[in-house]
Amino acid sequence: MKTMINVEHLTKQYKEVLAVDDLSFQVDEGEIVGLLGPNGSGKSTTINCMLSLLNFDRGTIKLFNKEMKPDAYDLKAKIGVIFQEVAVFEELTVYENIDYFCGLYIKDKSIRKQAVEEAIQLVGLEDYKKFYPKKLSGGLLRRLNIACGIAHRPTLIFLDEPTVAVDPQSRNHILDGIKQLRKNGATIVYTTHYMEEVEQLCDRVIILDKGKIIAMGTTDELKANTQIAEKVILEIHELDLEAIQKIKDLKNVADVRYNAPNLVVTYKTGKNNLVEMIDYLKTSPLHYTTIYSQRPTLNDVFLELTGKELRD
């Protein structure tokens, strides 16, 4: 399989802060790789180094098996970058914005017209071609931002939180568009704060913390390595400290958290935890309205590895 990104021993320091610490990884052709980490973990610095927007202290970066440099315009023509901040021209319409950015790479007008139409269709902006950005909702504006970044048909795409603060319809359009880009042959590096998107889209995940890779693999591989075997979630409206302690003392229970009315009981071992919890509740004075079992999520893995919420 062809390697699209190869990073070896990347190190970047800002005065006293070691932002990226001896980072090495690769991304293969056709993959969607999620790059995750709490704020300050080194994600943005790593991406900016890969794009030659930042100088770095040590290491090597190769894209398309060639060393990436600021003047590597042949490589940059094959790269699409969509940052979280929307960057379009307010005085241009939707169509004119996409055509302008596409025109930076595709000079032939007939080819460019087809590419622009494909980008518009991909993000679902067919009915908004003549609209100016100020007339678009936040979700439509973010779709326009994506179309501007991928209209020139790049084969390597960096997407930085493309669905943040958008409406559900736009989010679905964006996620479907990303899947289609991969079907069309693109390789994608994806950052997000929404774990469900990672599980839905990404072939592999790289988790960063304090500039280091602390975990890497498929979502199933990462979940298999977590210390959490199962969670049992209940809805109980009245629960005192004594009752919580009794639940903590049950077999296989590792942790109990109660934020009324939600009770989350975490187990590290065991196969019949839900049944045993139901049996216990039958003999206790506690009254619950719902109860269900949940296997470890990617968010559980992230919290276990970093001790932080993703948005920290």
The full set of domain ranges for the chain reads 3-224, 230-295
Is it the case that residue 186 has pLDDT exceeding 90? yes
In this structure, what is the dihedral angle of CA atoms 82, 170, 219, 157, given to the nearest 10 degrees? Answer: -20
**pLDDT confidence of residue 311:** 56
Average confidence (pLDDT) over 123-151? 96
pLDDT band of 48, cuts 50, 70, 90:
very high
More confident: 310 or 121 = 121
Structure tokens at 11: 């190190």
The position carrying tokens 């736009």 is 170
Distance CA 13, CA 258 (A): 41
Is it the case that residue 269 has pLDDT exceeding 90? no
Which CATH code fits 3-224?
3.40.50.300
Q: Which residues contact 100 (CB under 8 A, 6 or more apart)?
A: 89, 92, 148
**pLDDT confidence of residue 149:** 97
Is it the case that residue 232 has pLDDT exceeding 70? yes
Is it the case that residue 312 has pLDDT exceeding 90? no
Q: Which residues contact 237 (CB under 8 A, 6 or more apart)?
A: 260, 261, 287, 289
Between helices 94-103 and 109-123, what is the axis angle to 10°?
Answer: 130
pLDDT band of 228, cuts 50, 70, 90:
confident
**pLDDT confidence of residue 1:** 74
Is it the case that residue 29 has pLDDT exceeding 90? yes
140-168 pLDDT tens trace: 999 999 999 999 999 999 999 999 888 89
Please, what is the Cα angle at 196 between 301 and 161, to 5 degrees? 100
Q: Sign of dihedral through CA atoms 61, 211, 166, 94?
A: negative
Average confidence (pLDDT) over 68-72? 92
Structure tokens at 199: 């599980």
pLDDT band of 297, cuts 50, 70, 90:
confident
CATH class of 230-295: alpha beta
Average confidence (pLDDT) over 167-176? 91
pLDDT band of 268, cuts 50, 70, 90:
confident
Within this chain, domains 3-224 and 230-295 share the same CATH topology: no
HEC readout, 197-256 = HHHHHCCEEEEEECCEEEEEECHHHHHHCCCCCEEEEEEECCCCHHHHHHHHCCCCEEEE
Q: Which residues contact 74 (CB under 8 A, 6 or more apart)?
A: none
244-261 pLDDT tens trace: 999 999 999 999 999 999
Average confidence (pLDDT) over 43-59? 95
The mean pLDDT value of the chain amounts to 93
286-295 pLDDT tens trace: 999 999 999 8
Structure tokens at 228: 């959490």
pLDDT band of 229, cuts 50, 70, 90:
confident
